[in-house]
Amino acid sequence: MERCSVEVSTRGYWQSHQCARKAVLTIEGKGYCKQHSPDRRAEECKRQQLDYAQERHFSDLKWQGEKFFEALLKISRGHNDPRQLALDALRNITGDKG
């Protein structure tokens, strides 16, 4: 396979040179080594972040959902301080420090 096509600048040199690594994938006719495959790395990074955020969101909903349900149940049964109950339920929600 061909060489990685990415130009890299080396500290201490004024000129950049072509990466010496072997290309492991080709995007639009240009070879990229493992380290310089930008699209895949960016995509993977983005996907991982998205997965994490999504997971976080769902687990939040899962946990908080139960708490909300409890709170609603108490309110529906005539809890005498529904506002405080709601505040308690919301207390540990991400981004809410009230």
Binding site for Zn ion (CB under 5 A): 4, 6, 19, 21, 33, 36
CB of 40 to Zn ion, least distance (A): 13
Q: Determine the Cα–Cα distance for residues 89 and 68; give it in Å rounded to an integer.
A: 6
Nearer to Zn ion by C-beta: 30 or 56?
A: 30
Q: CB of 64 within 8 A of CB of 79?
A: no
Q: How far is CA 94 from the centre of its chain?
A: 15
CB of 52 to Zn ion, least distance (A): 28
Nearer to Zn ion by C-beta: 37 or 89?
A: 37
CB of 9 to Zn ion, least distance (A): 12
| SS3 state of residue 63 | helix
